[in-house]
Amino acid sequence: MKVVSRIRFPCTSETSSLYMKCNEGVSINFCAEQKVVLTRNGVLSLNTYFNSFYEQFYAKYTELSSLYYLLKLEGNFQVSLYREQYGRETRELIDTENFENCQSLEPVKILLPNSWRSEQSGRVYLEIACLSDGGLFAGGFIATEQPKLREVSLGIITCTFKKEAFIKNTVNTILKDDFLQNKKFKVFVVDNGKTLKHDEFDDPRVQLIPNRNVGGAGGFTRGLIQALQENVYTHFLFMDDDIELESESIYRLFPLYEYANQDFAISGSMLDLYKKHILYEAGALLCTNFLYRDKNYGNDPFAIVSLKNKFNLNNPYFTNSLLLEDKPDYGAFWFFSFSKKVVEEIGLPMPFFIKADDIEFGLRITERLGKPIVAFPSIAVWHEPFYAKNPIWVTYYSSRNFLITHSICGGSLRYVHAVKFLTKGLIQSIFLFDYNSAEMIIRGFEDYMQGPVLVKSTDPEMLHAKILEHSKSYKNQTVKSNSPSSNLPQRTLSTEKNKKPILKIIIGLITLNGHLIPNFFLSNDDVFYWIGSDCADRWFKVFAKKRVVIFREGNNSIEQNEMSRSTGLGILIRWFQIVIKSTTRWSSVSSEWRNAFNHFTSTEFWRNYLKLNDQN
């Protein structure tokens, strides 16, 4: 018997609805000894995100043909198997059986009919109804008797920078999973901050690797080089440090690859760490690669589109919508697995430090190799959402690395389009008096225009230190501890969203949102600017104000920016001077990055870049 997937229990009431649903006759034990206690007429439903079996995906990507459920029950029960499909309003009852005097040591078996590999496949789940005065559900799984097609060994690579609590919890979650004990894996913890100790990871299945602070791209690549040297892993998993992990996501990788009918990468979905029932992303598209770009994003070459964005997984409609398979351009490195063959064919990641390293790596898989990246439903982690983050220095890497990505992925980005959308972001920053972010855009563009010599001749740790210092150039921007939300003005976003004060917008554009207005016309009152998970305030809310206080949902600090006419105008003038000066160099710089690509993704380059040769 080979276990394909397990029925998982929730660890907290906060996430319970993603695992199990029940009526008043059922109680779930959230302690270490996980079990569900039922009374007569109590109904436990597995019509949930994590405990549905998405048969459509397994039928398409594996050679599995014969599957069955095994359930550990005590008491008398009626067990029903249902199927739902996208676009169908009613569910289909596939099978229902009664079982009497069940004992947990003798699991109940329910066959999955052969229709799961047909065009009628979709999403199946069980409902368990108690027919006795009392009953117990102690676990279950989906299994097969088919021998696996291949052995799979997994190199799990995670890198961290001073997030000790997160990474220790992640590693412990993996090591404590009983079912993973029989799987071949090793966790490579790459410590870019050098704050972890070897005796904190004394399990032989974990290797701590102190590393230079070369960002996420450097950390993942350092771990990948180490794992490749051991020459025992068929597949690799990149996994961020700042996540909450459901270890079943790792377990499900094994049968998927053991029975795979083709080579594919798996993009684990991101669930919102603060709103745990919300699916934030299930793979993503680079804007220039998708059909609706001119409708929603104006052909913005720097936009990315999160697939299945903001799906409420408590709603069966959205759970069924996961059956509509997309074709992601890439999967983010919070959870991304791929085969050793992929690395042998496309090389190592680009030395991007952070930002766009996962995009560029994914594009190589989908475009150069033509292999699919699959966002398997129910393989996911909880991750801090982007709306809660705003380290200003990240803007530098975003601007620079998107330009590099476009250069090495075809070089079709025209100078006028690049300048147009960088200018848009720069002006947006100036409008919010966020001069440091505007400065980061300029610095990112300037460093891109240096060409590959930037990477070849600049130490990445020294460069990052300069970027951090540069991101604090303007002292009119401060960050303070977050005031309780009750002290903030009530948001009026829902009504503002439909309003377009045309006159204010026109005057705001003409005056750089008040930068060109005489001082006596400006208000001394602070204006609160909201950035949230659903939407954000618009720039014209800041018009004719001297200060803006920016509040981000889920963030524990607020930003206060003050207007500086000389700074805002100075940045804008300098930007246009740089743009004019760089016009003639655009095509040649793009070619230089493209020609350097093979070198930058080679083991030889990375060993020098990480100074591994100095350690020998």
pLDDT band at 491 (very low <50, low <70, confident <90, very high): low
Angle among Cα 106, 107, 112 to the nearest 5 degrees reads 150
Torsion of CA 177, 178, 184, 190, to 10 degrees: 20
Mean pLDDT of the region 513-524: 92
Contact 129, 63 (CB under 8 A): no
Contact 319, 123 (CB under 8 A): yes
pLDDT band at 498 (very low <50, low <70, confident <90, very high): low
Q: Which amino acid does the sequence have at 123?
A: R
pLDDT at residue 329 above 90?
A: yes
CATH 3.90.550.60-classified regions of the chain: 153-388
Min mean pLDDT across 27-36, 100-109, 304-313 is at 27-36
Contact 260, 58 (CB under 8 A): no
How far is Cα 287 from Cα 500, in angstroms, rounded to an integer? 26
Q: Of the candidates 64, 44, 42, which has an alpha carbon nearest to the alpha carbon of residue 54? A: 64
Mean pLDDT of the region 358-375: 96
Mean pLDDT of the region 375-383: 97
Res 390: pLDDT: 77
At 45, is the secondary structure helix, strand, or coil? Answer: strand
CATH 2.60.120.680-classified regions of the chain: 2-144
DSSP state of 178: G
- For 107, the token pair is 């699991």
Res 295: pLDDT: 46
Buried b (16+ CB within 10 A) or exposed e, 210-245: ebbbbbbbbbbbbbbbbbbeeeebbbbbbbbbbbbb
pLDDT averaged over every residue in the chain: 92
How far is Cα 322 from Cα 541, in angstroms, rounded to an integer? 37
How far is Cα 401 from Cα 360, in angstroms, rounded to an integer? 9
Res 496: pLDDT: 47
Contact 160, 190 (CB under 8 A): yes
Which architecture, in CATH terms, is 153-388? Alpha-Beta Complex (3.90)
Q: What is the CATH number of domain 2-144?
A: 2.60.120.680
**Cβ atoms < 10 Å from Cβ of 595:** 13
Res 107: pLDDT: 95
Res 482: pLDDT: 60
Res 405: pLDDT: 95
Could you tell me which residues come within 8 angstroms of residue 77 by beta carbon, excluding any fewer than 6 positions away?
98, 99, 102, 108, 128, 129, 130, 131, 132, 135
294: left (phi over 0), alpha (psi -120 to 50) or beta: alpha
What is the tens place of the pLDDT at every residue in 236-282?
A: 999 998 899 999 999 999 999 999 999 999 999 999 999 999 999 99
In percent, how much of the chain has pLDDT > 70?
94
What is the tens place of the pLDDT at every residue in 536-574?
A: 899 999 999 999 999 988 887 888 999 999 999 999 999
Which residue spans within 299-405 are E strands per DSSP?
304-306, 311-312, 336-339, 373-374, 380-383
Which residue spans within 239-312 are E strands per DSSP?
243-245, 265-267, 269-272, 278-281, 284-286, 304-306, 311-312
pLDDT at residue 26 above 60?
A: yes
How far is Cα 492 from Cα 505, in angstroms, rounded to an integer? 18
Min mean pLDDT across 73-77, 213-217, 490-494, 528-532 is at 490-494
In percent, how much of the chain has pLDDT > 90?
81
- HEC readout, 533-582: CCCECCHHHHCCECEEEEEECCCCEEEEEECCHHHHHHHHHHHHHHHHHH
Res 291: pLDDT: 42
Which residue spans within 246-372 are E strands per DSSP?
265-267, 269-272, 278-281, 284-286, 304-306, 311-312, 336-339
458: left (phi over 0), alpha (psi -120 to 50) or beta: beta
Min mean pLDDT across 52-56, 140-144, 299-303, 511-515 is at 299-303
Res 495: pLDDT: 40
What is the tens place of the pLDDT at every residue in 190-249?
A: 999 999 999 999 999 999 999 999 999 999 999 999 999 999 999 999 999 889 999 999
What is the tens place of the pLDDT at every residue in 75-105?
A: 999 999 999 999 888 999 999 999 999 998 9
> Which CA distances in Å does 312 have to 272, 317, 321?
10, 9, 11
Could you tell me which residues come within 8 angstroms of residue 293 by beta carbon, excluding any fewer than 6 positions away?
287, 299, 300, 303
